[in-house]
Amino acid sequence: MHDVSAEDMEKIRQAIVVAVVPAHNEERNIVHVIETMPDYVDHIVIVDDKSGDATAERVRAAQADHPRVVLIQHAENQGVGGAIASGYEWARDNNADVAVVMAGDGQMDPADLPRLLAPVVVDDVDYAKGNRFLFPGGVALIPKVRFFGNACLSFLTKVGSGYWHVSDTQCGYTAIGRNALKAIDWQKMYRRYGQPNDLLVSLNINNMSVRDVPVKPLYQVGEVSGIKIRRVIFTISSLLLRRFRERMFLKYIVMDFHPLVLFYMIGLLLAAVSAVLFGRIIWLWADEGSAPALSAIAFMFASTTSLQSFFFGMWMDMEANKSLRG
């Protein structure tokens, strides 16, 4: 990793930086988050997502000594994605140059913030996201169950979003620039734990550049995770499938045409044919003790061609999105 230069740091100080802090029942950590926020952050927008504890009261008390703090309270719980959307809307409407998301549980290291801001402020990258996998020794610091679930979702997000160069897609430590803040309809963003995945798809549809930045994993700092790995994997997978279809239609059919959609369609059609042939082979084998050689050959041809079509589609998608590598 490389530290941010003094020149780049000066540019960060000159930019209007907004920290969006989604908070739900974070009375134990929220004041610490406020007090450790770097001085170059101009506004600290804390979005209280209808907490059942004293989170809002702690924030109001802190405002007396920290005039940078802005409190937004939700009348109804909207989930972490909804809280981030409210913060992004505030940043957009108040002419922020860049908005960074920092968790209300203190699980994001402020020391990493300049490295996230520099790509957006200095290099004009539209979106910079933290990647704990890239941090030296970072994988060893992540609980194994979380790492496995994150790795699976990272692969699915590559396919769904078109950003094949990113990983650790569940890391919420991100920075987004002015153009992206204005381009995305935040009212339509996914409201729950699939928000980072959903946002990547929207960014790709809008041809926004994205860069991964190494950040240090922080655990056992008092946070209470609301993520149930077994549940969110299926939920986010379903979300990514739906958004993948939307991206293919909007980006490669409506806005422009690209033959990769044909390869994906052929792959899907032949996958269905393969499933039918495989079922026929199993049924005949159970009923008659053998299966026709022609059915077996047809199954092998259909399944192999289906995989090749999917791989060609993925390769073309990689090539089409190379320009979005921040």
Per residue in 2-16, pLDDT tens? 588 999 999 999 999
Output the six-digit token pair for 153.
Answer: 């979702």
Condensed to tens digits (0 to 9), the pLDDT of residues 58-75 reads: 999 999 999 999 999 999
Check if the beta carbon of residue 126 is closer than 8 Å to that of residue 325. Answer: no
User: Is residue 42 domain-shared with residue 113, that is, in the same domain?
Assistant: yes
Strand order in the sheet with 17-23: 69-73, 43-48, 17-23, 98-101, 174-177, 127-131, 210-214
User: Is residue 172 domain-shared with residue 283, that is, in the same domain?
Assistant: no
End-of-domain residue from the set 248, 283, 308: 248
Total tally of structural domains belonging to the chain: 2
The percentage of residues in the chain with a pLDDT greater than 70, rounded to a whole number, is: 95
Q: Does residue 40 sit within a domain? A: yes
Condensed to tens digits (0 to 9), the pLDDT of residues 136-168 reads: 888 888 888 888 888 999 999 999 999 999 999
User: Is residue 158 domain-shared with residue 221, that is, in the same domain?
Assistant: yes
Cα distance between residue 78 and residue 22, in whole Å: 11
User: Is residue 180 domain-shared with residue 222, that is, in the same domain?
Assistant: yes
Output the six-digit token pair for 92.
Answer: 């957009």
User: Is residue 155 domain-shared with residue 269, that is, in the same domain?
Assistant: no
End-of-domain residue from the set 248, 281, 312: 248
Q: Does residue 101 sit within a domain? A: yes
User: Is residue 142 domain-shared with residue 116, that is, in the same domain?
Assistant: yes
User: Is residue 82 domain-shared with residue 221, that is, in the same domain?
Assistant: yes
User: Is residue 318 domain-shared with residue 236, that is, in the same domain?
Assistant: no
pLDDT of residue 227: 54
User: Is residue 108 domain-shared with residue 231, that is, in the same domain?
Assistant: yes
User: Is residue 187 domain-shared with residue 86, that is, in the same domain?
Assistant: yes
Q: What is the pTM of this model?
A: 0.90
End-of-domain residue from the set 220, 248, 276: 248
- The CATH number for 237's domain is 3.90.550.10
User: Is residue 58 domain-shared with residue 124, that is, in the same domain?
Assistant: yes
Does residue 240 carry a pLDDT above 90?
yes
Gyration radius of the chain's alpha carbons:
23
Cα distance between residue 246 and residue 240, in whole Å: 10
Cα distance between residue 104 and residue 21, in whole Å: 6
Exposed (0-12), middle (13-18) or buried (19+): which is 29, by Cβ within 10 Å? Answer: buried
Domain range holding 308? Answer: 258-324
Q: Does residue 253 sit within a domain? A: no
Does residue 223 carry a pLDDT above 70?
no
User: Is residue 122 domain-shared with residue 203, that is, in the same domain?
Assistant: yes
Q: Does residue 1 sit within a domain? A: no
